[in-house]
Every structure is written in C-alpha cells, then in structure tokens.
Chain A
Amino acid sequence: MRDDLRLLYLLIVYDIRKIMRYKVFILMRVAWFSVQVGFFAYLISHIVGQRFGGELTYYHFYLLGAYTSILFTVSMFRGYETAQEFEEGLIEYMLSLPIKRKILAIGRILGGSIASFILTLPMMLIVLFLLGAFDLFSILLAMASAMIFSIGIVSLSISLVFLIKSGDATDITFGILDSLLVRLSTVFYPAIILLSFIPYYYVSSVNPLSYLADFLRWIFYPQELSKYLINNPMNLAFFIIGFATSMLVLATIFIEKKIEGGGWK
C-alpha cells in the first residue's frame, strides 16, 4: 500500500513536471485566453441583448463559460499527450514498469487532471479578477469543482485514446468532441436560449460542460443566475461528482483489464 502511494505520487509528479516544461506554451495559452476574454468576450457581450439579474451582463456569464471551455480543452489535450506517448513508444515503457495497472491508470489520470488544473489556474485567476470575485469559500469551491470535472474529462480522453489507438481517429474524435461539446452546452448561452432548439437542449442537458459552467455561475452569482441554469445547483454538483467518479472507475477498469502496447495506427 505504501509502495502504491509512492508510485502514485511519482506518476502524478511525472505529469506535473511534464507540463511545467512547457512554460512558453502556458504563457501563450494565457495570452490567448486574455485576448479571448479581454477582446472577444468584451465585444461579443456588446452585441448580446440578453440581460441577467442585477448588474450582470453577458460578459459575466461568458467568463465562467470561457474558463470551463479552456479547462475542458486542456484536459482533453491530455489524450493528445497520451497519443503522442504512443507514437514515441513511451506508453510501452510505462506498461513495462513495475507498477500495478490500476495505480498506473489512477496516477496518470490524477497527474493529468492536476496538471490541467495547474495549467488553467492563471485563466481562473484572470476570470476571478475580471468578475471581482474574491470570496475565499467560493474560490475554493470553484477550484474543487474544476479539479473534479478535470478528472472526469482526463479519464474520458485517455480512455478514448487507448480505445481508438490511432493518431488519425484520435484527431477526428477529439476535433468533433471539442467542436460539438463546447457549442452544445451552456458555455456560450443560457439554457433558455437552448430551448429554442430542443435537440440542442437535450444534448446540453447531459453535457458535463454545461454542468461545470452553470455550477461555477451559481457559486459566484447564486441569486442572479439561478433561473438561467440548466439544472438546480445540487444536481449540478452531483452530476459533476458522479461524472468524474464513473469516468475514473471506468477508465481504471478499462486500462487494468484491456490495455496493452502496440497496435498504434
């Protein structure tokens, strides 16, 4: 058990160290996010007629959606990293190490999600600053929910790469997932807007991005945004936890029972 925890720690550190090497990458991502929220979001909020309660504008609504979207993309990117590890043969190396498959799966998923969370931390701070949200409890709750959400997405993305085992198919699956899941969620628009296209609404009502985006909105604006959420706050929280837990368990079982090296196309 002690040895398992030590290995878990080493795997998590491996993923964090890995992401920390891409300092320029992080810097660029932050710069790009700054342009997105400072320019794109600012301008787009001026063409939106939708008003929310109190002083809230679409800009406030969008900021937490934008953070959800970047956290999703960065967490999904762990899958691409895994695909790259397949191409470079690192997966085979990992599989040959004296580490239990279960520990390897959990370690890489937790490492990937912590790394994703750290990478998007500057973006979260930018959003909090722009919102003027400085309540410590709310910030910690937001961070915890982001971290849990990331565990679910990293589990999903790594499982997909192991399942697909193809660079090309990974590209298309991830490209389509990224394009559709972000747009078919409440990341950019409140649930009531989605109601005008019922199929879109149904997809967004089971889309984990909707749940994190709306849960974050509820954390910071429980009064003003409550009637614009896709579900009640308790259900939002349960959904995020349930999604992350089930994805983590499924990914671990899948990696433990099925995974092997080779066969990469």
Chain B
Amino acid sequence: MSSGRDVAISIRNFVKRFGDIVAVRGLNLDIYDREIFGLLGPNGSGKSTTMLTIATVYRPTEGDIYVYGKSVSRESDEVRKYVGIAFQEPKAMWIDKPIEILTWHARVIGYSMSDARRVVREVMEMLDLWEQRNKMFSELSGGTRKKVEVAKVLIQRPRVAIFDEPTAQLDVIAKHIVWKAIKELSREGSTVIVATNEMYEAEALSERIGIIYKGELKGLGTPAELKDKIPGGDIIEIHIEGSLDPLTKQMLAEKLGAYKIDHNNGLIRIYVDKGEEKITPAIEMLSNKVKIKMISMKEPSLDDVFMFFTGARLGE
C-alpha cells in the first residue's frame, strides 16, 4: 500500500480467537497518520475486537499490530501513550457522577488538577453535558452515557483516537456535535478510527473505509473508490413517453456497455459504470426514437457497496 502517506497503524496478519471462536482472521491493514478511517461492519464482524486490540485491551492471538511503530504485543505500555478509546458500551461505575468520571480520566491521562477541571468543563459544555454533571451515571439516559464515553477521548486528545459506534443512541443534534468534534480532532493531528454499522456515518466522517465482515477485510478505499468498484453501480434513469422497441434497447446496451437495462411503465433503468460519461450518448440515441421527459442518475449507496463486497446486508 504505497500512497506516500505515513502509516500510523499497521495491522499485520492479525488473528484473534476467543476459545473456539475466531473473531478476526488474518487481517492486514494500514491506517494513515491523521486520517479518519471508518471501520464498517455489522455486529460481531470483528471491528470492535480489532479496535480493542489496537487499544491493547486484547492481545493478538497471532500476528501483530503496530501503532507508530510500537507493537501492541510487546510494547503495550508504550502503545497506550498514543491511544484513547471511547468504548461501544460506556464504561463507568454506575454510582459515579459524570464530573467525577471525566475528572479522574483527565487526571490519569496526565492533566494537572486545575487543567483537568478546565478541560472537562469545556468538553462537557461542548457536548451539552454540563447540566448533568452531578447526576449518578445510573440515572443518565443511554445517549447521555454515550456522550460521557465520547467525552473521555475528546478530553484526552490522543494521537490515535478510537471511537466504537460513537453516535449510537444519540439524537440528531448530538450526532452532529460529535461528528464535528471528531473532525476537529483529526484536523488537530489525531489519527481517528471510527467503527460503525451506520453507512451514512461512515460516509460522513471517513476519508477511507474498511469493510470488515466475519473477521475479514472485504473492501478498502475512499467511499468514491468503493462505489466505483461495483460493476454497473451507476443507474441512469430515463422517463419516456411511449415504449422502447427491443432493437433500440439492444443497441443502447451495446453502445453504453450497460450491464442491464430494465424498461417498465415508461421508465428505463440503465446499469453502467461511470454513469456521468454515458448520459450524453444515451440522450443522443434515444432522442430520435422516443420523447424524453426526464433524466436522472443514481450512484450506488454504501449499502450497495457493503452488499457488493460482503454478499450480505448490514443488520444480518
């Protein structure tokens, strides 16, 4: 993988087994310095296991992961100096208050008491948590607990920031606040890994996306690259008056290099690669034969991408 960018995290032949269960099977992946990398996969796909191993919470069964050149197997104490993680399930004693949880976290990652108080307040205010600082964790809603968890990493501002489903249970406003904060982290120089099973979140945040399924990496690239890898992924939709004769349909398919053409009730759907280049030839061919009412083009969604690479739908 030679893109000219520095590699922050290098995952090499990583295997993780829990007893008889193989959670991750020989994963190889490079994550670049300062990028936002989306790890996309359904529950149980191995994305959390991978992230927890990067954070040194798990130990690799085989292979290794290097964080800025440090091995998670042999130099875990060093790796943790770089990494901060917001877990999928918020981690806190239920009897604790958010202010206590975050202040302790700030202290343990190295802030002085006065700095800890200041930073904790800033982040809590940003996430709209300040009003709830003195409630017991058990009394907080699921979304608020999640915000407390995310706040830990925002306070820490680590070199490698890991977010495991950071916006699960959050409302729309909170979601955008968190996304903004994550992008801000990246701009400041953090390498960010976001695990999610939400397509739109992966697309909204990530520069590159890795699709992981049943413990294996199935696809890797920018959202645009991934979409382009789907044969016939672009759909040109043409609404016409009247009907299309079979000969024209065949000629159209040959000229545009279409994978498939559907024609139903005045709607022609043409499945092609690089659809934006095929619109003009399609109009030229059809305008002599039928009256065109409307033309549009659809790109594949990440949902389609995921389905293409894994043969499954998210939520399976």
For residue A98, CB closer than 8 A to chain B, the reply is yes
Question: Contact mask B1-42 → A, CB, 8 Å, 1/0?
Answer: 000000000000000001100000000000000000000000
CA distance A261 to B89 in the complex (A): 14
Cross-chain contact of B52 among A99, A101, A262 (Cβ < 8 A): A262
For residue B176, CB closer than 8 A to chain A, the reply is no
Q: B156: nearest residue on chain A (CB-CB)?
A: A98
For residue A92, CB closer than 8 A to chain B, the reply is yes
CB contacts (< 8 Å) of A88 on chain B: these are: 91-94
Q: Once the chains bind, are A263 and B93 in contact (CB under 8 Å)? A: no
For residue B283, CB closer than 8 A to chain A, the reply is no
Total chain A interface residues with beta-carbon distance under 8 A: 22
For residue B301, CB closer than 8 A to chain A, the reply is no
Q: Once the chains bind, are A96 and B56 in contact (CB under 8 Å)? A: yes
For residue B229, CB closer than 8 A to chain A, the reply is no
A-B contact count (CB 8 A): 64
Q: In the complex, how many angstroms separate the beta carbon of B75 from the nearest chain A beta carbon?
A: 11
Q: Once the chains bind, are B76 and A101 in contact (CB under 8 Å)? A: yes
CB contacts (< 8 Å) of A96 on chain B: these are: 52, 55-57, 80, 83-85, 87
For residue B249, CB closer than 8 A to chain A, the reply is no
Q: In the complex, how many angstroms separate the beta carbon of A24 from the nearest chain B beta carbon?
A: 12
CA distance A200 to B81 in the complex (A): 51
For residue B59, CB closer than 8 A to chain A, the reply is yes
CA distance A263 to B57 in the complex (A): 11
For residue A90, CB closer than 8 A to chain B, the reply is yes
For residue A243, CB closer than 8 A to chain B, the reply is no
Q: A101-B76, A262-B18, A262-B57 are in contact. Are A93 and B104 (CB under 8 A)?
A: no
CA distance A92 to B56 in the complex (A): 9
For residue B95, CB closer than 8 A to chain A, the reply is yes
Cross-chain contact of A98 among B81, B89, B92, B94 (Cβ < 8 A): B81
Q: B83: nearest residue on chain A (CB-CB)?
A: A96
Q: Which residues of chain A from 95 to 111 have any CB-CB distance to chain B below 8 Å in the complex? A: 95-101
For residue A7, CB closer than 8 A to chain B, the reply is yes
CB contacts (< 8 Å) of B81 on chain A: these are: 98
CB contacts (< 8 Å) of A98 on chain B: these are: 80-81, 83, 108-110
CB contacts (< 8 Å) of B76 on chain A: these are: 101
CA distance A158 to B93 in the complex (A): 18
Q: Once the chains bind, are B80 and A99 in contact (CB under 8 Å)? A: yes
CB contacts (< 8 Å) of B89 on chain A: these are: 89
CB contacts (< 8 Å) of B87 on chain A: these are: 89, 92-93, 96
Q: Once the chains bind, are A260 and B104 in contact (CB under 8 Å)? A: no
For residue B77, CB closer than 8 A to chain A, the reply is yes
Question: Contact mask A233-263 → B, CB, 8 Å, 1/0?
Answer: 0000000000000000000000000001111
Cross-chain contact of A92 among B18, B57, B107 (Cβ < 8 A): B57
CA distance A61 to B19 in the complex (A): 49
Q: A10-B104, A90-B92 are in contact. Are A261 and B57 (CB under 8 A)?
A: yes
Q: Once the chains bind, are A89 and B91 in contact (CB under 8 Å)? A: yes
Q: A97: nearest residue on chain B (CB-CB)?
A: B108
Q: In the complex, how many angstroms separate the beta carbon of B185 from the nearest chain A beta carbon?
A: 17
CB contacts (< 8 Å) of B19 on chain A: these are: 263
CA distance A96 to B85 in the complex (A): 7
Q: B84: nearest residue on chain A (CB-CB)?
A: A96
For residue B259, CB closer than 8 A to chain A, the reply is no
Q: B85: nearest residue on chain A (CB-CB)?
A: A96
CB contacts (< 8 Å) of A3 on chain B: these are: 110
Q: B107: nearest residue on chain A (CB-CB)?
A: A10
Seed contacts A90-B93, A96-B80, A97-B108; 5 additional CB < 8 Å A-B pairs: A10-B108, A18-B93, A92-B52, A92-B91, A261-B57
- 23 A-B pairs whose Cβ atoms sit less than 8 Å apart in the complex: A18-B93, A88-B94, A90-B91, A92-B52, A92-B57, A92-B87, A93-B92, A95-B55, A95-B57, A96-B55, A96-B87, A98-B80, A98-B83, A98-B108, A98-B110, A99-B80, A99-B108, A101-B77, A260-B59, A261-B57, A262-B52, A262-B58, A263-B19
Residues of A within 8 A of B (CB): 3, 7, 10, 14, 18, 21, 88-90, 92-93, 95-101, 260-263
Residues of B within 8 A of A (CB): 18-19, 49, 52, 55-59, 76-77, 80-81, 83-85, 87, 89, 91-95, 104, 107-110
